[in-house]
Amino acid sequence: MKLLLPLFILSYSSVSSAQNDISSAQNEIGYLDSNENVTTIRIDDDYGVHNVSYFVDDGLAIVEDDVIYGTEAQLLAKRVQPEIPLLLAKRAISVFPNGVNSQRTWPGGIIPYRYGSFHIKNLYQTKVESAISVWTKLVPCISFEPDEDNKVKDDPTPDILTIRAAKKPGCRSSVGQEAGVDAILQLDPNTTKPCDLAAVIHELGHALGLKHEQHRHDAGPFICENLEDYDPSKPKCCDYGSCCGKACNFVKFPFGEYYTTENAPRPGYLYDLDSVMHYRRRARGRKDASGIRMITLPLAREVAATVPSAGDEARLRDLYGCLSTCPKTCKPHNNICHQPTAQTCVPTLPGTPNTYCACRPGFKAGQYDDGDTTKQWRLPISGHEDQVWVAEDVKCNHLCDGAPGTPGCREVSVIDKGCL
């Protein structure tokens, strides 16, 4: 049985209508906020011997602010003595078939789900369905299927994602599907400050198997001294092998046999600052004298991503086996590119071998699904991420979903870098 772990890009088509639902009053830290005190222990699990910081909500061990590890008993069963040396597995947090994460995919890409209470269903059903639409349009080989006609039943199992109320404030999820660990998505039942759409998209990314992007070995710098719980008497807390407190949410995993930062065949292989799984710039920063949170991740976005990136999409496509295939090219001087909406057959970049019909800027093929990469697609070209390309004789007759002054056409799926 195939299983998964780490990724996402967001489709503005599926999200644009729902983005008004993204709260403009997110807390200062973002949708990863949690003010719980944490306990740090050393464990030996699929990733090797390493430290982890956690708090408990309704018997569940929560790590990294919003990741459900399992029950506290399941976490403590893996506890080892602090003097046990650090021992890391191969790139566990990866998108590659041989990584631990690949053992946590949902079989067949089908995620059965149900709600644990009518309150949570009534409060979140619209957001959950919007977030599901975002992911399934980007990754066509996955599907979320209501269990037993979406029957409300608070009885978590490893085989059904149960969407239930969190006991403590916040939004959190288990990662992928893991044998013996209940699949749970916890959402804040507070009607005055519920989880926003961006948070639900993020947590569904975890549920599909994605981990936080800033843990990658090739991630950007992390300013540990600016953390809200930094203790200058314990400088080793900032090191991966001996991390403690909130620093364990940020330290890089110093192993990277799978990820590469150069000549990556697909965008999902690169460290991705635009990932919806990445913490924001001031996450967990302590406040300075003026009351502003200090920077902990200097390269990260000031505001956390609210939609998946091209890398997020590519990672999930890789994990679930629906990588894009390159579309048929056109001939620059002998083609049937549609006149006048996509009349130019040009190389994707100067010197690249493939040529495709290029849409007019800001337009896409509205008569086809945004995820149908046999008819239209985007390419991971820096500075030209919004350019839509189409097959011959396909009309580019529909304005993209991006509002004026915002990135446009991101609802159209990205295909592999190898198709350049």
Q: Cα 205 vs. chain centroid, distance in angstroms?
A: 4
pLDDT for 45 = 84
Q: Phi and psi at residue 157, in whole multiples of 5°?
A: -140, 165
Q: Which has the closest alpha carbon to 195: 174, 175, 169, 213?
A: 169
Q: Which helix (H) or strand (E) holds 112?
A: strand 110-115
Partners of residue 49 on adjacent β-strands: 44, 87
Q: Are the beta carbons of 62 and 70 closer than 8 angstroms?
A: no
* Chain mean pLDDT for the chain: 82
What is the distance between the alpha carbons of residues 378 and 269, in angstroms, rounded to a whole number? 17
SS3 50: strand
Name residues of the chain where pLDDT drops below 50.
1-32, 90-101, 256-265
For residue 414, what is the DSSP state? B
Instruction: Please state whether beta strands 67-71 and 172-174 pair in parallel, antiparallel, or not at all (unpaired).
Output: parallel
Partners of residue 377 on adjacent β-strands: 389
Partners of residue 103 on adjacent β-strands: 3
pLDDT for 391 = 92
Q: Which has the closest alpha carbon to 44: 3, 86, 5?
A: 86
What is the distance between the alpha carbons of residues 387 and 361, in angstroms, rounded to a whole number? 6
pLDDT for 22 = 33
Q: Which two tokens stand for residue 181?
A: 């660990």
Q: Which has the closest alpha carbon to 251: 284, 219, 274?
A: 219
- With b for 16 or more beta-carbon neighbours within 10 A and e for fewer, the 60-94 pattern comes to bbbbbbbbbbbbbebbeebeeeeeeeeebbebbbb
